[in-house]
Amino acid sequence: MQSENPQPPVSKTLAPFRNKVFRSIWTATQISSLGWLVQTVAISWLMATISASDLMVALVQAASTLPVFFLSVFAGAIADNFSRRWVMFAGHCLIASASTTLMISVGLGFVSPWLILGLGFLAGCGFALNDPAWHASVGDILHKRDIPAAVTLMSVGYNIVRSVGPALGGVILAVFGPLAAFALAAVSDLAPISAIWRTKWEVRSSPLPRERMTTAIHDGVRFTAMSLEIRAATARAALFGLASISILALLPLVVRDQLKSGPIVYGILLAGFGMGAFIAGMGNGFLRKVTSQNRLVAFASVACAVCCLSLALTSSVPVAAISLALGGAGWLITWTGIDVSV
């Protein structure tokens, strides 16, 4: 745990920024997230351009998210049994290698749908490694009293970037082409790699002996299987995820075929989704005071369903943007509610 010299009083929400290690990695993470969101726009639109298969376009989202889904248990065990700093470093190296390979492939004119999916999967593996280690490291880097504020800052930071990154990606893709978007993503990946390399922090020692990784994985799966609450939350998450992922997975096709628009509109619509999530995140605490958590999740799920239905029927960009903002709000509130239920 990093010890800091006494500082003038600051807002409790901003208190974690007094710690230079957290501040450095948090800032680098936002830079990397911005580059990743720019790349997400470019990679999805590139697939919609080079492939006539709707399935291949939809698989872009699946390729980048499935590793997080399938490797989460393994990644958590790895983060608990190895140096979290080096696990984070390895994760960001995988993400950087995927972005760099995409940049080189586009520059050489050698791009195929399967290459795009493979590199998206590689980047997803990087996120699956990094995220559990980063979240667990917050407890090592900061004092316990600052951890809730740090979690808030991490969420707010990502949602702000998610409101800006896709629109920026659409502009870069339309004006400069996919090569520039992938180059920006590759360069942005250097920020967290550099920050993690330059910073060190002490890991809080546990009074319990270290578990073998296979034992930790087995115990985690066994606990999940035996807990009624976790089984129910997992089932709800699986059903909601399978249904709602179609919003983002099929959005390039909606923009290309239904709205008859290009990458700028695609980026703006993605930014609308992110803005809806950001607003919902800021107001989620108030909403939870007004109504019960289960009712709030039900309303949020209906909002995502309305978004899907609207996108299926509309040919208007403004209507699509409003629908996606509603869907983004429903998306964040539902996932937050599922997390809280566990």
pLDDT in tens, 86-120: 999 999 999 999 999 999 999 998 889 999 999 99
And the tokens for 299? 């309303």
Return the higher-pLDDT residue of 232 and 315.
315
Tokens 């003038």 found at: 8
For residues 67 and 244, give the distance between their C-alpha atoms in angstroms, rounded to a whole number.
18
Of 182, 158, 160, 164, whose CA–CA distance to 45 is shortest?
182
Displacement of CA 66 from its chain's centroid (Å):
12
pLDDT at 207: 56
178-188 vs 190-198: helix crossing angle, rounded to 10: 10
| Backbone phi, psi, residue 322, to 5° | -65, -40
pLDDT in tens, 142-167: 888 888 888 878 888 888 888 888 88
For residues 161 and 159, give the distance between their C-alpha atoms in angstroms, rounded to a whole number.
5
Q: What is the mean pLDDT of residues 123-130?
A: 89
pLDDT in tens, 281-337: 888 778 878 888 788 888 999 999 999 999 999 999 999 999 999 999 998 888 888
- Contact present, 34 and 166 (Cβ < 8 Å): no
Residue 188: CB partners within 8 Å, gap ≥ 6? Answer: 31, 32, 34, 35, 36, 38
- Contact present, 255 and 261 (Cβ < 8 Å): yes
And the tokens for 298? 């039900």
Of 313, 233, 310, whose CA–CA distance to 276 is shortest?
310
pLDDT at 212: 66
Could you tell me where the beta strands, DSSP code E, fall in 110-162? none
pLDDT at residue 45 tops 70:
yes
**pTM of the predicted protein model:** 0.81
Return the higher-pLDDT residue of 211 and 268.
268
| 8-state DSSP, 109 | T
Of 100, 65, 115, whose CA–CA distance to 189 is shortest?
100
Q: What is the mean pLDDT of residues 176-191?
A: 92
pLDDT at 118: 93
Burial 57-86 (b: 16+ CB within 10 A, else e): bbbbbbbbbbbbeebeebbbbbbbbeebbe
Percent of all residues in the chain with a pLDDT value above 90, rounded to a whole number: 35
Residue 342: CB partners within 8 Å, gap ≥ 6? Answer: 229, 230, 233
pLDDT at 231: 76
| 8-state DSSP, 189 | T
Helices then strands, counting H and E runs in the chain, come out as 13, 0
pLDDT at 98: 93
pLDDT at 336: 80
Rounded to 10 degrees, what is the CA torsion of 46, 49, 55, 60? 10
